[in-house]
Amino acid sequence: MKVSTQRLPESQVVLEIEVDPEQMERSLDKAYRKLVQRVNVPGFRKGKTPRDMLERHVGRGRLVEEALDSLIPEAYNKAIDDQDIDAIGQPSIELLKDEPLAFKATVPIRPTVDLGEYKKVRAERESVIVDEADVDTALEEMRRRYALHEPVDRPVQSGDIVRADVRVVIEGNEIYKDDDAEFRLREGATILLPGFAEGLIGVEKGAAKEISVTTPPGEQPLSGKQGIATTVVKDVKAERLPELNDDFAREVGEGFAGLDALRERFRSDIRERLEAQAEDSYRDKAVGALVERAKAIEFPPVLIEREIERLIKDQARSVGQDIDQYLATIKRTPEQLREELLPAATERVRRSLALTRLAEDEGITVDAAEVSDEIDRIVGSAGQQADQMRRLFSTEEAQTAIERSLLTRKTMDRLIEFAGADGTQKSARKKPTKKTAAASAQMKEES
């Protein structure tokens, strides 16, 4: 067997394989022995038909096709072993000649990743400043949760809670009907359709009114169309907000010493949320900087295809649908969705490969004890579901997922050690955020 190799960009190798006539003949003889047991030839018992008679009966092409079904993978596997090709996926085959066999195999091979001077990676951490306006907004939302709703005998005003009969017709099509709908009118908020909430202002209790509305733009037949919302107001309630003072602070939630203490709690909660967001952003920028500084990140297209398939499955699963249902819901063809996801999938593969190589270069590993400790930590916080959670983590697949998650976390922590302005900044993160935990899915079989 003759084999020639050619290295292609994007971590691929082309093997051109020519099979010796003797090997071809042996495969044809094997194919004959298989076919003769399955094919009935008039005048001969099954399994006893001579080869020349079988060939005349089924045709030479059928015999060759049967031979190639086993000869191509046999020749391919021998070629990659002989040439020491590190294949990570199935090849694409191009048949050049069938007798004797000659074909090309384009093989995806292990990616090439050179991170360069990765310890010089730097990322800037955003400062966190709590805007007092956000604290005021949080306090206002708290007041609304404790508000009283009192019936009033006056026309509808902004801020009221309105109960009404509503029927919406767009170009002769009834698209909404509710004989006891309830709406909370917030300034600037859209209810049902643009124009409806504004049209309710000033309507008397018991009065009917036709309100001009417009459907949002889009691809649906009735998108961007005007229509009429017919409404009869049945009840109007005004929202009475409690005074924002020390008494209010002492009555809400777990009880606070006064309004200043309540404000400080909201300020602290907002700061904690902003710090978590800043940490996620910082880590994201650090990985981006690692990828940007890398000398080479080369990988075969099959990795992007796998990542796109994974993203599509994840999106469908997140809404409780299979892929066909999901595509129908979002009105996309598989080709359209794949094209939309291509940039994100490509970036995810690049980042995954960079993190995987960093773990290898830094000798970062996860042992069985660490996996066990992490499972104990998760189960310990599961409360009444602890036994169920432990059973879930008893499978090899679940433990492998935990191991990948820990490996990603430790790798990210090591990266953050390099990413500070002076190269010594440590991460304040004690446990992974949702984004960091999700990144563990990127430490995949490419490593």
- The yes-or-no verdict on residue 420 having pLDDT over 80 is no
Confidence of residue 444 (pLDDT cuts 50, 70, 90): very low
Res. 423: pLDDT tops 50: no
- The mean predicted confidence, pLDDT, of the chain is 89
**In CATH, what number does 2-110 get?**
3.30.70.1050
Is cis: bond before 100, omega within 30 of 0? yes
Q: 167, exposed or middle or buried, with CB in 10 Å at 0-12, 13-18, 19+?
A: middle
Separation CA 275–CA 439 (nearest Å): 19
pTM over 0.85: no
pLDDT digits (tens, 9 = 90+) for 92-113: 999 999 888 999 999 999 999 9
List the single range of 107-116, 238-247, 278-287, 424-433 with lowest mean pLDDT.
424-433
> What average pLDDT score do residues 425-438 get?
38
Mean per-residue pLDDT, 148-166: 92
Count CA atoms within 13 Å of residue 297 on its CB side.
Answer: 22
Instruction: Please write the tens of the pLDDT for every residue from 372-415.
Output: 999 999 998 888 888 888 898 989 999 999 999 999 999 999 99
Model pLDDT for residues 293-306, shown as the tens digit of each residue = 999 999 999 999 99
Give the residue range(s) of CATH 3.30.70.1050 domains in the chain: 2-110
Q: How far, in Å, CA of 110 to CA of 11, rounded?
A: 7
- Assigned CATH topology for domain 295-442: Trigger factor, domain 2 (1.10.3120)
Model pLDDT, residue 219: 65
pLDDT tens per residue across span 4-60: 999 999 999 999 999 999 999 999 999 999 999 988 888 888 888 999 899 899 999
Q: Is the pLDDT of residue 436 over 50?
A: no
Task: List CB contacts of 426: < 8 A, sequence separation 6 or more.
Answer: 416, 417, 420
Among 87-101, 416-430, 432-446, the minimum mean pLDDT is found in 432-446
Q: Within the chain, which residue ranges are assigned CATH 3.10.50.30?
A: 148-240
CATH 1.10.3120.10 region(s) of the chain? Answer: 295-442
Report the b/e string of 123-144 with b at 16+ CB within 10 A: bebeeeebeeeebeebbeebbe
Question: Secondary structure of the chain in the HEC alphabet?
Answer: CEEEEEEECCCEEEEEEECCHHHHHHHHHHHHHHHCCCCCCCCCCCCCCCHHHHHHHHCHHHHHHHHHHHHHHHHHHHHHHHCCCCECCCCEEEEEEECCEEEEEEEEECCEEECCCHHHCCCCCCCCCCCHHHHHHHHHHHHHHCCEEEECCCCCCCCCEEEEEEEEEECCEEEEEEEEEEEECCCCCCCCCCCHHHHHCCCCCCCEEEEEEECCCCCCCCCCCEEEEEEEEEEEEEEECCCCCHHHHHHCCCCCCCHHHHHHHHHHHHHHHHHHHHHHHHHHHHHHHHHHHCCEEECCHHHHHHHHHHHHHHHHHHCCCCHHHHHHHHCCCHHHHHHHHHHHHHHHHHHHHHHHHHHHHHCCCCCHHHHHHHHHHHHHCCHHHHHHHHHHCCCHHHHHHHHHHHHHHHHHHHHHHHHCCCCCCCCCCCCCCHHHHHHHHHCCCCC
Average pLDDT over residues 281-291: 95
Can you name the CATH fold of 148-240? Answer: Chitinase A; domain 3 (3.10.50)
Residue 308 has pLDDT above 60, yes or no: yes
| pLDDT over threshold 90, residue 371 | yes
Rounded-to-integer distance, Cα 11 and Cα 352, Å: 16
Amino acid making up residue 213: V
